[in-house]
Structure 1
């Protein structure tokens, strides 16, 4: 009898513990969530994050609040995720810069994307476009390259910061064309773009969604897109290959991650809700008209891409000799 009582108590305890665990995650989410965006408000990243957060909130039945935490090529906002519980209530929109480049760029990054973060899904990608101030004397890539070769190190280009994909696009462009440019880093894409518009810096690589309105309004000149195909939004702008720069491409992916250790059922709930958003034509079409290529993936596919690009970006940074202490 004593043995039966012990077994009964043990079974009841197991049931109660399991019920408690289900109670913690079974009604997820039961309050507002946070989506960390490690870049400034007003840029292309922000232009995707806000409609995504709004649509995701509708799927989850709770508000999703965008929190802009910019700085250190997205490193500040990315590291902030580690200070939040691994419960799925705080997510991060990571990018090729923050997840695949930063680990090889910064000696003391403060986070390890592969060890610390759990990928949920890819969300979108954007091609980088080489744009110049409307008063700049470059109508095409050849004219720009000729000018750069005449005065090595004299022609400058802006970027969103050291190690950002806009910066590395410029570095790869120099390798592909045999030129030497002067890099001018800013704290984010919007201030860099503002100085190109004002003529303080003649050129930059920037994400397609950020520059389309400026190009169509005649405020910027797009000379080439760093993609394997032309954009339907700027059909007259050639690819880099068409402009004579080989197979040089710069297409930047983005996706959502949470902290490692997030409960499996919470991860699945987030993943399914995000897939519904990302596959919804009502969500996709307005963003695609701006130049975003909306994506979706499994967590495993995202993890594989992250590991592959972490290795390739490490090789590129080593080649150009870039490291930040």
Structure 2
């Protein structure tokens, strides 16, 4: 198999260039290279968030492909609550045998430790990283009634009338909340935070005009943006997105250096045998190189990103420091 390479790209650390040719091994080849008799029974992937979001989308796609490759059932279980900590804690305490996997993300690994005083597990010590799977950007949106056609105009409005507008998030400590607070800090503006129990009610109130602004996950907002029910002012990624090519980044739109994205990855309980971790890593790489997978994920605003276990661990540590500084500066805590 051709060696997979990673390029350093500023603060993001690395991006993988994924091609089917680079990872073009057959399912049979993977099965033969894996640990003896693994997997010999059903595998479960716990998604510690509600169905329908980016975490759920990517988990179900990966589970489907794993099932086809391994000829064993791969079941996705949604176990939301406590900003992802409930489902993550269950996997942290599960048998480290490769049959219990976690669809983890930046929230669990790099944000929750700074937000929650009594974590039920240690994200760095209690999991064996397997691979990053992808990243999804967020998008700054406003209700159509707001007289701002771009981010600069919104910033001017917020400075003229500080505290007048409300912004919605999917909950205290969520990536949406953190990204909006970083926007406020970097633009020296003021908005009132209205936290919701998940993205769906936050989006519903934004559509109804009960709140005026949000920094939301792109795949959940795309249908409403395309329907003209909310205005997309900027994306939070470093580069423009193929799904919204005409929408500038916040860096381009007047907030130099702004960057926020949600990474998604696969992890197992600490102590899972390295041979099994490597086996699943290689399977994940092959899945994420499949053209139909790339196409489906891009349609949801998710960009493929794979890694070695160590690169995934380092990404989590880098973001832990970065978001820890932001959380401390903003004085944000979650009970």
What is the TM-score of this pair, normalised by structure 2? 0.86
Aligned to 2:60: 50
Matched, 1:321 2:335: no
Distance 1:279 1:321 in 2: 41
Distance 2:204 2:59 in 1: 21
Aligned to 1:19: none
Contact 2:48 2:86 in 1 (8 A): yes
Matches within 5 A, 1:30-109: 30-109=40-119
Aligned to 1:239: 249
Contact 1:141 1:243 in 2 (8 A): yes
Contact 1:160 1:185 in 2 (8 A): yes
> Higher mean Cα deviation, 50-59 or 119-128?
50-59
Secondary structure of 1:47's partner? helix
Q: What whole-Å deviation, never above 9, does each CA across 1:216-260 have from its counterpart, x for those lacking one?
A: 122221011112222222122121122212121111111011000
Matched, 1:211 2:221: yes
Secondary structure of 2:125's partner? helix
Contact 1:59 1:277 in 2 (8 A): no
Distance 2:149 2:252 in 1: 14
Contact 1:126 1:253 in 2 (8 A): yes
Matches within 5 A, 1:298-317: 298-317=308-327
Q: Which runs of 4+ in 1 moved over 6 A?
A: none
Distance 1:97 1:36 in 2: 15
Larger C-alpha radius of gyration, 1 or 2? 1
Aligned to 1:267: 277
1:49 Cα deviation after fit: 1.9
Matches within 5 A, 1:158-169: 158-169=168-179
Aligned to 1:155: 165
Distance 1:159 1:127 in 2: 15
Contact 2:173 2:334 in 1 (8 A): no
What is the TM-score of this pair, normalised by structure 1? 0.88
Q: Return the structure number with greater helix share.
A: 1
What count of residue pairs does the alignment treat as equivalent? 301
Aligned to 2:6: none
Distance 1:254 1:102 in 2: 15
Distance 2:81 2:134 in 1: 22
Which of residues 129, 138, 145 in structure 1 aligns to 2:155? Answer: 145
- What are the ranges of 5 or more consecutive residues in structure 1 without an aligned counterpart? 1-24
Aligned to 1:291: 301
Q: CA RMSD in A?
A: 1.5
